Structure 1
């Protein structure tokens, strides 16, 4: 027992000495107490963005936290975030090395997890040009239009059955189909899917990924914890990583076989196509990457391609589908806003055709609703970066290797930045172009590591919700307001899936069929 006390005393002494030394290095203020070994981990509660928001309200917008062995800089003011993402943009362009990046990010080599450098820049360029550029998005417009029409038809079918529609799964399946069509040229949900069993495995894997990513891994902050009892979560990550890899590899092999067959039948031209038709054919992302692999096999390895596919699927599904669910929930709780949005669509589009993506720029109130939804419920409430060298923020010294936590939720719900921030007021964004309002509103981040899929997300949310608003009358299931409680997770999901009542508006049903 004396040995144990001695060891604990030594640890406490070292920790307190280190803490006293740190106080003289002009670091940002730090909440008291900072416990030996644990640091501020005792303050970690769910949802994390709310817990950290309370800390900022109490101690200030720039704080230094100690999560076990990791230092973390918490910023929650537009001025501090602006300094991090402008003056110190390159310095904070890295991601922290967490175990999820090792086992689910091909050892920190994917677009989401890799350190800032040549490899990351090349991945970002591929994603931006080959899938997410304005030209590429326009060329793939037919995919989004078709999938949104199929969603509206599905909602119509449920409405005709009993009028009750569960929207969470519908939005999720919509986004997964859109991303899979753009990436691999196949759908995973609906009547025309090629393999129902494969679709089931894919959905299971996607949902398992979100569950694991929502779980705080103590070993990321206390490395010795995995030897005490924290290896179970890591084992699950390893198993999930292998499962995800098999699915992605299967998609790759399927496309490789098609290329071999096409080459054998026509020197690279697909069977039955003329050379002119082949050039007009819109290639999906896998086809583009496999062509690059033939030219540069030493760089475009299967792992690089699979990692890019996984990142785009993960980033492009849950965030946008969650925003759609929050947006429709807010409209159901604010029917006067819903009526105003329907009136705007009727004035701009009319009653004789369905809304198109090209109409969205002429629907300013709809864009206001989208922006206000993302202000209240940002798809990424906490943004994680890491410093690559020493720097200063707000006059404080920030050491190299410090994890940066930008609390977008706290900024976007702060009365210092917004009048009456808890109230749903789309009109506050009248006149705003795009989805940025300085650094007060930045749902897609900013700087080098901002979300490259912003344009796609805004198109999808605008088109999908615009179509549902145009085609259906919506109302709550009962007299009670829609429950707006937030669930746990990195992307701020609703705790209770949205269930609503709807019926077709006027002659809209004729336009769907």
Structure 2
């Protein structure tokens, strides 16, 4: 038999938490840009109607090119003026350099320590230095020109086959092909492996990678309401539990890639090989977690 006292207590607790969040959000903030009227707890979430690229310009006509919104417990500033955007990325770039600590970043991105999620500071600057010098420099990227050429040739052959099957008429769907092209170029540069298309060395491993990437993109960005309304994490099998499982699966996959490169001592010119060679010189800094973070950031970009 269901316990009415238990359910009443849970409802009261949730109500108190919601009230606390509401009161915190209603505290006066100095120097905030103008803002539309908001709703209790939800803030301005009710204004988010697709397509967003039309919603924000419509609000800017009424509230100016710089205005503020509240999404649940988080405050945001929307900037739509080129001059204001330039000021954000020049005069105030350090002030605005941090990213919000989203739940996905906490679990999948090693407690917000990867280059794409870390707060501005010494750690982020060191990650940026590694990325600039060892991974994304022009010299390093030029070393992978052969990979890019090969993948483009494969794409053209694939398009040609599809066109032939349609007897030279009809449409050829390119979106998925460009998706596969991008991921294969990135992962061949990172790990020396193709995970999309026909010529895949290990279908089981490729399938696991595709599954992980699909889940990561599905749960990335601002798609999670619990990032704005933390009370939703109380729901059984909520977002955070799902992301925790994804993080474990992602970490195990990345660690296997690193262990494979380490045990085989591959001579391939890959990002993992480069970072492992640096790990031999500075093991206290080029840890496996740092390397996994760079693999993760590269594969998502």
Unaligned runs of 5+ in 2: 1-7
Q: Does 1:78 align with 2:85?
A: no
**CA offset at residue 219 of structure 1?**
2.1
- Write out aligned runs for 1:238-249 (5 A): 238-249=244-255
Say whether the 8 Å CA contact 1:16–1:36 is kept in structure 2.
no
Q: Does 1:186 align with 2:193?
A: yes
Task: Compute the RMSD of aligned alpha carbons.
Answer: 2.6
Say whether the 8 Å CA contact 1:29–1:59 is kept in structure 2.
yes
More divergent stretch after superposition (181-190 vs 248-257): 181-190
Q: Return the structure number with greater relative CO, CA threshold 8 A, min gap 6.
A: 1
Name the SS for the 2:258 alignment partner: helix
Q: What is the CA–CA distance in structure 2 between the aligned matches of 1:104 and 1:285, rounded to whole Å?
A: 20
Q: What is the CA–CA distance in structure 2 between the aligned matches of 1:16 and 1:108, rounded to whole Å?
A: 25
**CA offset at residue 11 of structure 1?**
4.9
TM-score normalized by structure 2?
A: 0.86
Return the match for 1:106 from 104, 110, 130.
110
Residue 206 of structure 1 is matched in structure 2 by: 213
Q: Does 1:252 align with 2:258?
A: yes
Residue 300 of structure 2 is matched in structure 1 by: 314
**CA offset at residue 105 of structure 1?**
1.0
Residue 123 of structure 2 is matched in structure 1 by: 119
**CA offset at residue 109 of structure 1?**
0.5
Residue 59 of structure 1 is matched in structure 2 by: 63
Change (3 A) 1:230 1:78: farther
**Superimposed CA distance per residue, residues 93-143 of structure 1 (whole angstroms, 9 cap, x where no aligned partner):** 111111111022111001110011121122222222222211112221111
Name the SS for the 1:300 alignment partner: coil
Return the match for 2:173 from 159, 166, 177.
166
**CA offset at residue 303 of structure 1?**
1.4
Q: What is the CA–CA distance in structure 2 between the aligned matches of 1:63 and 1:95, rounded to whole Å?
A: 19
Q: What is the CA–CA distance in structure 1 between the aligned matches of 2:277 and 2:271, rounded to whole Å?
A: 10
**CA offset at residue 222 of structure 1?**
2.3
**CA offset at residue 209 of structure 1?**
1.5
**CA offset at residue 230 of structure 1?**
7.2
Residue 90 of structure 1 is matched in structure 2 by: 94
Change (3 A) 1:91 1:40: same
Return the match for 1:285 from 267, 271, 275.
271
Residue 383 of structure 1 is matched in structure 2 by: none
Q: What is the CA–CA distance in structure 1 between the aligned matches of 2:270 and 2:117, rounded to whole Å?
A: 24
Name the SS for the 1:166 alignment partner: coil
**Superimposed CA distance per residue, residues 463-505 of structure 1 (whole angstroms, 9 cap, x where no aligned partner):** xxxxxxxxxxxxxxxxxxxxxxxxxxxxxxxxxxxxxxxxxxx
- Write out aligned runs for 1:324-403 (5 A): none
**Superimposed CA distance per residue, residues 432-456 of structure 1 (whole angstroms, 9 cap, x where no aligned partner):** xxxxxxxxxxxxxxxxxxxxxxxxx
Name the SS for the 1:165 alignment partner: coil
**CA offset at residue 189 of structure 1?**
2.9
TM-score normalized by structure 1?
A: 0.52
Q: What is the CA–CA distance in structure 2 between the aligned matches of 1:211 and 1:17, rounded to whole Å?
A: 28
Residue 39 of structure 2 is matched in structure 1 by: 35
Q: What is the CA–CA distance in structure 2 between the aligned matches of 1:309 and 1:218, rounded to whole Å?
A: 27
Residue 155 of structure 1 is matched in structure 2 by: 159
Name the SS for the 1:224 alignment partner: helix
Change (3 A) 1:214 1:114: closer
Q: What is the CA–CA distance in structure 1 between the aligned matches of 2:161 and 2:39, rounded to whole Å?
A: 57
Say whether the 8 Å CA contact 1:131–1:182 is kept in structure 2.
no
Say whether the 8 Å CA contact 2:226–2:239 is kept in structure 1.
no
**CA offset at residue 48 of structure 1?**
3.6
Change (3 A) 1:98 1:214: closer
Q: Does 1:302 align with 2:288?
A: yes
Q: What is the CA–CA distance in structure 1 between the aligned matches of 2:25 and 2:105, rounded to whole Å?
A: 33
Q: Which has the higher helix share?
A: 2
Q: What is the CA–CA distance in structure 2 between the aligned matches of 1:103 and 1:237, rounded to whole Å?
A: 7
Q: Which has the larger radius of gyration?
A: 1
Q: What is the CA–CA distance in structure 2 between the aligned matches of 1:46 and 1:136, rounded to whole Å?
A: 40
**Superimposed CA distance per residue, residues 252-297 of structure 1 (whole angstroms, 9 cap, x where no aligned partner):** 11101112xx7xxxxxxx6xxxxxxxxxxx6211001111112222
Residue 143 of structure 2 is matched in structure 1 by: 139
